[in-house]
Amino acid sequence: MKPRIEVAAVDCLMLRLFDEIAEHNMPWMLAATERVRSGFAGFLIDVVPSYTTLMIHYDGLALSPAQARELIHQALTDLQPATGDHGQCHVLPVWYDLSVGPELALLARRTGESQGEVIRRHSARPYQVFALGFAPGFAFMGLVDEVLAAPRLDTPRKRVAAGSVGIAERQTAAYPAKSPGGWNLIGRTPVMLFDRERDGYSLLQPGDRVQFEPISHSEFIRLGGDDTPQEALA
């Protein structure tokens, strides 16, 4: 780890801890986040952890850039990775079906395996939540089995249904709301991922882990899922 501090704005610094995305980065990212929160105290407006960086937005009227940098250096002194379970574990039920996951067939062709095997591989492991972005509550997770890695669609869809579960390269995610999107869709979850009435708004947070669980169509409907075919949204 070779930390670097970069300027993001007049009152915002970017702390870059790593250069490559890896699951073993997250304990360090979480530890650094807590150190920064504690060190900046009332001078901190927000700290946003991501794959390899922390964006630190501070009160520019109370701290100079030099003082902010010094607080970051203090936060990194004798930093140790977070131990134990610091995030929550979530089980997201998913209805894997071509009507809501049209790229299931594409991924099966790419891997040379059945659609059932694609589903098994995708739901076989828990995924680390690396970052939130793109849209409120959109959690970037990984890393998926290398066999399932697939590039984003050449032409993004204008509308993707809320709850749609997709893959892009070695990341996976579930769309929290209807929006444009270019990920390879393989299923849909009935779980509400973003709720303004929820503390923190987003169900998933950096450091959490997510296990996808295949469910039947009837269970999907029972849980409140919307089974409108993806093609009907185009």
Amino acid identity at 164: S
- If asked whether residues 60 and 124 sit together in one domain, one would say no
pTM over 0.95: no
| Top-confidence residue, 81 or 221 | 221
Instruction: State the average pLDDT for the chain.
Output: 93
pLDDT at 85 over 70: no
> 63 and 104: one domain?
no
Question: Are the C-beta atoms of 133 and 55 separated by less than 8 Å?
Answer: no
- CB count in 10 Å sphere of residue 148: 21
Domain that holds residue 60: 4-76
> Which pLDDT belongs to residue 9?
94
Shared domain for 33 and 103, answered yes or no, is no
Total of domains in the chain: 2
Q: pLDDT by residue (tens digit) across 62-84?
A: 999 999 999 999 999 999 987 76
pLDDT digits (tens, 9 = 90+) for 162-204: 999 999 999 999 999 999 999 999 999 999 999 988 777 899 9
CA distance 180 to 92: 22
Domain identity same for 69 and 102: no
**Taking 80 as the threshold, does the pLDDT of residue 41 lie above it?**
yes
* Rounded Cα–Cα distance for residues 35 and 56 (Å): 12
Last residue of a domain, one of 51, 76, 101: 76
> CA–CA separation, 231 vs 109, rounded Å?
20
122 and 223 part of one domain = yes
